[in-house]
């Protein structure tokens, strides 16, 4: 018999709908039941492509005896962290405050008023049973101590990170701050394999986007080499799907060899931007091929017929991690026959298997500079056809606003670098989907058959505003810019903490949890306050809103000591800091050929330029009275000081690169 989760929209919750556990979604009903029966709450948090979440479900939540213990002594709530990152954020911080390692599945025990008192991640079934009995016993006999400890922890969670970290100094922004961050990243850089030195290894795209900007401002060749070496190692590694394109979430080793095989939309979205930017500097064909293969994967496997992008692909198929993506020698021979050796040599596969259970993860020789031959490409295509007949990994087909907006940004960056209309059309398809199905008088978090009741979080609004701002700069359609402005005003009204000058993660109309958090630090996804601060700065320039630019500067100032000391987790702030130091040029292209000249301009790497333009009259502050009687002019200004208008991109590029206001 299915449990209550059968009515959920989340694929992760639906995976648990036939457990014997009496699961609830996070709801008033569940929370009131805990209070009425004075029972502890067990909140179990995960996501659909999480390998260890599946393992724990199979071992414990499908076990009738364990389910009986859970049902008898607890009110059990299942949460999809991707649908409800606000809940995940609060209880992840709680577990880390208990000196436990964070991660998923996250299992947290709460008092009936939602205050956490114990938690951890994956538990083997025997340990889990034991823990359930122990928690039940302790809750009954040491209730006073549990309540006291839970109250202390709740108080810790309610203390704003900014109280711990922000400083209200009148710091000035200067190049030396970027130099300091570069030196810290250089020390932590893995000179052999690229990336930041440690295992497991996450890509952390914001780090490399910052280093590209550092290179642009200093011409420091080593900074560029750190990025290009990392990107080549990623493309050659097992973390990259050599047959189908797209990147897995992370590598369990330090060599990008053996991934945890789930593929997340948010990683690939950011990596599109990163490879496109690196290509515009280097013109390296490997970077171009990586972008094109990854976009083909997105279009083939991750796109809803109406244009939105799905969230993730599981690591597992047929209950085995990586089975879909890996090959035994026998399987390779069955598809390739006499050509097997050539492919095995190119992708470092062996007869006994280069991974576990006799299987091979395809990877390229990291030392080689040899491009894929036409013959290798044909063999790859054959293997891809054969692989597509396998039982596929589970697809998390919910559509998340923030992750889609990040992907739109990635596709816009590809469109700028490669001038391929296909990238822009995919981006426009996704924004149309969001506007038709996820956005009404507010932005909703998710869609799966219907939009979620949950309002979007700061992440969703911030990335959506960024996507609209970027779409304007490549189309000159002012409708996108006014939508960015509308949602920016909405965020200022509904998310702003006027006391601290930063944004809460959830809206002031959202359900009240035991703590209302602010996301300050980057993780693999950039911190939403940093993204929002950049939005304020860029829109401040495009719409001539000095107050928004001041707010972006103030936010950055308060965290400056942290940004310069801990760049690995503040790199999106570092990107903004680079822009504040090397003030962006306002590049206005006005006249009949505005879109043609924009195309030519954007194929160059211009991280410190914001583009506006029109083929006709416009009331935008940057465009007023700038339409020539005939032809097209490019105006390059900085901080309201302008160079003489020019009509050639090459001349404008010189002005952008050499002009200081």
- pLDDT tens digit string along 210-245? 999 999 999 999 999 999 999 999 999 999 999 999
Rounded Cα–Cα distance for residues 53 and 396 (Å): 14
**Residues 295-314, mean pLDDT to the nearest whole number:** 97
Domain locations in the chain as residue ranges: 4-158, 325-389, 585-658
Residue ranges of the alpha helices (H) in 476-621?
A: 478-494, 528-542, 546-558, 560-565, 571-581, 594-602
The residue behind tokens 């058959």 is: 449
Bigger pLDDT: 638 or 428?
Answer: 428
Cα 62 from Cα 145, distance rounded (Å): 32
Q: 41 by DSSP, 3-state: which?
A: strand
pLDDT tens-digit readout, 13-67: 999 999 999 999 999 999 999 999 999 999 999 999 888 999 999 999 999 999 9
Residues with Cβ within 8 Å of 482's Cβ and at least 6 positions away in sequence, in order, are: none
Residue 164: predicted pLDDT: 81
pLDDT at 659: 75
pLDDT in tens, 497-513: 999 999 999 999 999 99
- Contact assessment for residue 103 and residue 45, using Cβ atoms and an 8 Å cutoff: no
CA angle 458, 161, 539 (to 5 degrees): 35
Tens of pLDDT, residues 177-203: 999 999 999 999 999 999 998 899 999
- Confidence check: pLDDT of 634 > 90: yes
Q: Where are the alpha helices (DSSP H) in 256-369?
A: 265-282, 285-301, 329-336, 340-346
Contact between residue 120 and residue 127 where contact means Cβ atoms under 8 Å apart: no
Q: pLDDT averaged over the chain?
A: 95
Residues in the chain: 661
Angstrom distance (rounded) from CA 213 to CA 171: 21
The CA distance from 465 to 483, in Å, is 8
pTM above 0.75, yes or no: yes
pLDDT confidence of 9, banded at 50, 70, 90?
confident
Domain over 4-158 is classified CATH 3.40.30.10: yes
Residues 6+ apart with CB under 8 A from 554: 501
pLDDT at 370: 75
Burial class for 71, CB neighbours closer than 10 Å (0-12, 13-18, 19+): middle
Asked if 272 and 221 touch (Cβ cutoff 8 Å), the reply is no
- pLDDT tens digits for range 353-408: 999 999 999 999 988 777 789 999 999 999 999 999 999 999 999 999 999 999 99
Q: What is the full DSSP assignment across 400-434?
A: EHHHHHHHHHHHHHHHHHH--HHHHHHHHHHHHHH
Residues 312-362 pLDDT 10s: 999 999 989 999 999 999 999 999 999 999 999 999 999 999 999 999 999
**pLDDT computed for residue 162 by the predictor:** 85
Position 51 scores a pLDDT of 86
pLDDT, average across residues 411-424: 98
HSE-up (13 A, CA, CB side) for residue 75: 23
| CA-based torsion, 517, 111, 70, 134: positive or negative | positive
Q: Mean of the pLDDT values across residues 106-134? A: 97
pLDDT in tens, 642-657: 999 999 999 999 999 9
Is 649:637 a contact under the CB 8 Å cutoff? Answer: no
Identify the bridge partners of residue 75 per DSSP, sorted by sequence position: 41
Q: Which residue has the higher pLDDT, 36 or 260?
A: 36
pLDDT in tens, 558-609: 999 999 999 999 999 999 999 999 999 999 999 999 999 999 999 999 999 9
Q: Determine the pLDDT at residue 367.
A: 82
Q: What pLDDT is attached to residue 661?
A: 52
Q: For residue 622, list its beta bridge partners.
A: none
What pLDDT is stored for residue 76 in this prediction?
A: 98
Closest CA to 495 of 444, 458, 531: 458
Percent of the chain with pLDDT over 90: 92
For the segment 511-546, what is each residue's pLDDT rounded down to a tens digit? Answer: 999 999 999 999 999 999 999 999 999 999 999 999
Q: What is the DSSP letter of 526?
A: P
As a whole number of Å, the CA-based R_g of the chain is: 26
């Amino acid at each position: 018999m299915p449990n209550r989760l059968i009515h959920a929209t989340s694929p992760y919750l639906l995976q648990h709908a036939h457990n014997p556990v009496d699961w609830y979604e996070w709801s008033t009903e569940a929370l009131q039941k805990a209070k009425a029966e004075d029972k502890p709450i067990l909140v179990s948090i995960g996501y659909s492509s999480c390998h260890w979440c599946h393992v724990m479900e199979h071992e414990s939540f499908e076990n009738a005896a364990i389910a009986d213990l859970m049902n008898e002594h607890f009110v059990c709530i299942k949460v999809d962290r991707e649908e409800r990152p606000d809940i995940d954020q609060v209880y992840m911080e709680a577990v880390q405050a208990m000196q436990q390692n964070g991660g998923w599945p996250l299992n947290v025990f709460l008092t009936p008023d939602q205050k956490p008192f114990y938690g951890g991640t994956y538990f083997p079934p025997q340990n889990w049973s034991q823990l359930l009995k122990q928690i039940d016993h302790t809750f009954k006999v040491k209730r006073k101590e549990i309540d006291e400890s839970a109250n202390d922890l709740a108080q810790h969670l309610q203390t704003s990170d900014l109280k711990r970290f922000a400083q209200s100094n009148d710091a000035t922004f200067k190049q030396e701050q970027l130099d300091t961050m570069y030196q810290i990243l250089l020390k932590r850089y893995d000179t052999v394999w690229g990336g930041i030195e440690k295992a497991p290894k996450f890509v952390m795209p914001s780090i490399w986007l910052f280093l590209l900007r550092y290179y642009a401002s200093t011409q420091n060749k080593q900074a560029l080499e750190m990025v290009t070496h990392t990107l080549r190692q990623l493309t050659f590694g097992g973390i990259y799907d050599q047959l189908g394109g797209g990147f897995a979430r992370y590598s369990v080793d330090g060599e990008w060899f053996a991934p945890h095989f789930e593929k997340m939309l948010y990683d690939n979205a950011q990596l599109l931007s990163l490879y496109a930017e690196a290509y515009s500097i280097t013109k390296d064909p490997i970077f171009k091929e990586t972008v094109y293969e990854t976009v083909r994967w997105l279009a083939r496997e991750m796109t809803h017929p109406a244009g939105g992008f799905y969230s993730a692909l599981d690591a597992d198929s047929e209950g085995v991690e990586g089975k879909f993506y890996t090959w035994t020698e026998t399987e390779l021979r069955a598809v390739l026959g006499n050509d097997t050796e050539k492919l095995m040599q190119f992708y470092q596969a062996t007869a006994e298997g280069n991974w576990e259970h006799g299987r091979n993860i395809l990877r390229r020789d990291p030392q080689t500079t040899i491009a894929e031959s036409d013959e290798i490409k044909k063999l790859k295509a054959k293997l891809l056809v054969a692989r597509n007949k396998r039982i596929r990994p589970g697809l998390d087909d919910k559509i998340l606003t923030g992750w889609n907006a990040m992907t739109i940004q990635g596709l816009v960056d590809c469109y700028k670098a490669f001038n391929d209309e296909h990238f822009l059309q995919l981006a426009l398809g996704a924004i149309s989907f969001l506007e038709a199905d996820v956005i009404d008088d507010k932005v909703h978090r998710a869609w799966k058959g219907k939009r979620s009741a949950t309002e979007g979080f700061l992440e969703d609004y911030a990335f959506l505003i960024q996507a609209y701002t970027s779409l304007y700069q490549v189309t000159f359609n002012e409708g996108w810019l006014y939508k960015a402005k509308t949602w920016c005003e909405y965020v200022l009204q509904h998310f702003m903490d006027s006391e601290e000058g930063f944004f809460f993660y959830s809206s002031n109309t959202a359900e009240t949890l035991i703590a209302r958090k602010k996301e300050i630090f980057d993780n693999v996804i950039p911190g939403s306050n940093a993204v929002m601060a950049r939005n304020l700065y860029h829109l401040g320039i495009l719409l001539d809103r000095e107050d928004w630019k001041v707010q972006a500067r103030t936010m950055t100032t308060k965290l400056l000591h942290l940004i310069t000391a801990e760049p690995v987790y503040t790199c999106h702030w570092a990107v903004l800091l680079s822009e504040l130091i090397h003030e962006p040029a306002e590049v206005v292209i006005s006249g009949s050929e505005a879109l043609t000249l924009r195309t030519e301009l954007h194929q160059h790497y211009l991280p410190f330029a914001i583009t506006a333009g029109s083929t006709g009259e416009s009331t935008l502050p940057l465009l007023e009275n700038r339409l020539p009687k005939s032809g097209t002019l490019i105006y390059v200004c900085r901080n309201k000081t302008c160079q003489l208008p020019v009509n050639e991109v090459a001349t404008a590029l010189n002005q952008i690169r050499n002009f200081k206001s």
